[in-house]
Each structure stands twice: as structure tokens, then as C-alpha cells.
Amino acid sequence: MKSVPKALALLAGLAGLCASGPASAAIDWANVPGKDVVLYYPGQSNWEWVLAMNPVEMPGAPYVRQGKTCRACHEGMEDFLGGDIVTGTDRTQMFADNAVLPPIEPTPIKDKPGAFTVTAKFAHDGSNLYVHLDVDEGQQPDAGQDPNFATKVAVMFSPSRSPDVLRTGCYAACHNDSTGNPGATPGVNRTEYLGRTHARLTRLGGGDALKPADQLATLRAQGYLLEYWQARLNPGRPAVPATLAVFDKREEVANVVSADASYAGGKWSVTLRGPLNGGPGLISFLPGQIYTVAFAVHAGHTARRFHNISGERTLAIDAGVADFIAVKQ
């Protein structure tokens, strides 16, 4: 019986491939304008660290509480942030007379680049949304954390108008007590979660207690959700797509995404395709709405928090005021 799940997985994989074909086939990407986004290495910075733990370490904290976004201050200095954090040595705070701050990366990966650039393009064909990412990850040391995949490229979407998602993107889901962060309980696996699903969020994180079911249902109805489309990659091998959702925890859900990718000289070119109407529990992308998007890349066989991330960006379908407009091709 041992081989049955394996066979099923293989069939499911084949069905996915056959039904979808190459993700990028329908779009002429040369005609779609792209934008560069710099992905920095965040170390153990997380929601509680940024907003509450230590305003000396993150001078922007009071301003985020008043409504500023992370990118308002940090766009253009991602190279500095990543470079300062990734080595795991003392950090230098240039805005406070070069004050020296303690590291926020206790287990650094030797020679890891602190930041790199992703060029992102979006398009749709009336039934699918397409994301094309040129990822210039450069030469990455092998961290040996994920033996199965060299690189994992993800795009995050959210329809939520909740301030945590709008202002901070992925940081809304990254908490002090999630696995790998400073407040994690050793041996306890706690994934990412959105803060407002939890009964109480303190400087230590949200713990285990959730809001009552009716309040969780209201949050879900308001689109309080992060959805990730991920391509899991090895050079010369087919991309493996995955769909993940974050609400009160992060879960891999039934996959709705297809992906293809190619690699040359430290650069990945990745296309992800998913339905505009994701169905129950997933996002429906509608014209006239603005979605938060962000990007994350696990390069060099890394797992969990050892990724490079972007600040929050915005996406509109067909038209709107946003960083990216997915126009019908």
C-alpha cells in the first residue's frame, strides 16, 4: 500500500500539467511593462518587532501605527536593510548617529546576499491571472535547509482593506511566536497567521487563542486573507506549483496554480498562472478592486523565515491606481 499516495500524487501532478499546459504560453511578455522590486533579507524582524517591541530599533513604529506604510520609508533602502541584517553581526543605525544595534539574525548563512532584484509583470486573459517574475538571485550559498528545492518563488495577494495588510504586506502574518522567531516555543510548530484572527495580540505574539467563530467568519467575509502562489524550483527540472493561504494559520490548500520556469546564470524566469475566480476560500480578482501584493524568494535551499521579501505593493485588474495593472491580453 505504500506506493498508493505516491501514485496518487503523481497522477494529480500529471493531471495538473496536462490540464494547464505551460503557464506562460498565452501571454506575450515582451509587450507587458515590468517593475523592479528589491527583495531584502529580514532576519527576525516581525510584526511585533516592527510595531511594538522596540521603537529604538525601528524608528518608524509610531508612524506605522499612525497610518504610514513600510514602503513609505523603506523603498529604495532595501539593499541597506538586507545587507545590515543578513550577516548576523551588529547593525548600524544610520539615522541615529550610527548607533550600534544588536543583530536580528542569530543563525546567519555565510555569504548570503542581503538583497536582490525581481522584475514583476502581471496580465490576465479573462479567466486566469498571470504573474511573470525575473528573479536575479545571483550566486547563493547552499543553506541545506530544504534539500528538495534550490529556490522557491512566491507572490502574495490580499483583497483585505485591513490596516495591517495594507500598511505592512507580509508582516501582517509574520509574528514573534511563529517558528524561527525569537518568541517561538522550542518544539512547537506555529506557522504564520494574521493577527486579527487571534483573541489577543501582545508584544509576545498571538499565542493559541482565536477569536470566536462568528468574528472569524466576519473577517473572512471581509477578505482578510493572504493567498500565496508559489513555484518550487530546481534548475533543469519542471517547476512545482503550490497554493497556500494564511488566515489563523498558514496552510497549503488544493493547488489552483500552474507554473513554469527556466534558469540561467543566477537568474530565474518564472511564470505563475491561477484563476481570476479562485473559488471557495480563495481570492476572486475583480476589476475595480485594489489588491495588496508582495514577493518572497527562498534562494539557496532555504526554508521558513530564511527568505528575501519585498515591501507591500498594489495590483489592479484592467485599470486603477496601483503599482501593477493586469491588463487583458
Q: Which residues bind ligand HEC (CB under 6 A)?
A: 42, 45, 50, 58-60, 63-64, 68, 70, 72-74, 81, 84-85, 91, 93-95, 168, 171
Query: Rounded to the nearest whole angstrom, what is the least distance from the CB of residue 45 to ligand HEC in the complex?
Result: 4
CB 300 within 8 A of CB 110: no
* CB neighbours of residue 264 within 10 Å: 8
Torsion 32-36-42-48 (CA) sign: negative
* Residues in the chain, total: 329
Query: Rounded to the nearest whole angstrom, what is the least distance from the CB of residue 59 to ligand HEC in the complex?
Result: 4
* 260 vs 312 by CB, closer to ligand HEC: 312
* 16 vs 180 by CB, closer to ligand HEC: 180
- Cα distance between residue 216 and residue 67, in whole Å: 24
Query: Rounded to the nearest whole angstrom, what is the least distance from the CB of residue 162 to ligand HEC in the complex?
Result: 14
Which amino acid makes up residue 284? Answer: S
Query: Rounded to the nearest whole angstrom, what is the least distance from the CB of residue 180 to ligand HEC in the complex?
Result: 15
Comparing every residue's Cβ against ligand HEC, the nearest one is 60
- Cα distance between residue 276 and residue 49, in whole Å: 35
15-26: burial string, b at 16+ Cβ within 10 Å, e else? ebeeebeebbee
* 73 vs 216 by CB, closer to ligand HEC: 73
Query: Rounded to the nearest whole angstrom, what is the least distance from the CB of residue 204 to ligand HEC in the complex?
Result: 18
Write out the three cell numbers for 67: 497610518
- Cα distance between residue 79 and residue 89, in whole Å: 16
* 116 vs 268 by CB, closer to ligand HEC: 116
Query: Rounded to the nearest whole angstrom, what is the least distance from the CB of residue 44 to ligand HEC in the complex?
Result: 9
